[in-house]
Amino acid sequence: MKVILEQSLENLGNKDEIVEVSDGYARNFLIPKKLALRATPSEIKQLEERKKIIQKKREREKFKAIRIQERLKGTNLVIERDVGEGGKLFGSVTTQDVAQQIKRKFNLEIDHRKIILDEPIRVIGIRRVFIKLHPEVEISLQVEVKKKNEK
CATH topology of domain 2-66: Ribosomal Protein L9; domain 1 (3.40.5)
- For residue 120, pLDDT over 80 is answered with yes
pLDDT higher than 60, residue 151: no
Q: What per-residue string of b and e applies to 90-99 under the rule 16 or more CB within 10 Å gives b?
A: eeebebebbb
Burial of 60 (0-12, 13-18, 19+ CB in 10 A): exposed
Same fold, 2-66 and 69-147: no
Q: What pLDDT, on the 0 to 100 scale, is given for residue 90?
A: 83
pTM: 0.72
Q: What is the mean pLDDT of residues 41-62?
A: 95
Main-chain dihedrals φ then ψ at residue 144, nearest 5 degrees: -110, 125
The count of other CB atoms within 10 Å of the CB of residue 4 is 20
CA pair distance 110, 100, nearest whole angstrom: 9
**Calpha distance 12→112 (Å, rounded):** 35
- Domain residue limits, the chain: 2-66, 69-147
pLDDT class of 91 with cuts at 50, 70, 90 = confident
Report the range of poorest mean pLDDT among 83-87, 107-111, 129-133.
83-87
Quote the radius of gyration of the chain (alpha carbons, Å). Answer: 24
CATH of segment(s) 69-147: 3.10.430.100
CB 122 within 8 A of CB 88: yes
Output the pLDDT for position 75.
86
What does the angle CA 129 – CA 130 – CA 136 come to, to the nearest 5 degrees? Answer: 175
Tell me the average pLDDT across 97-116: 93
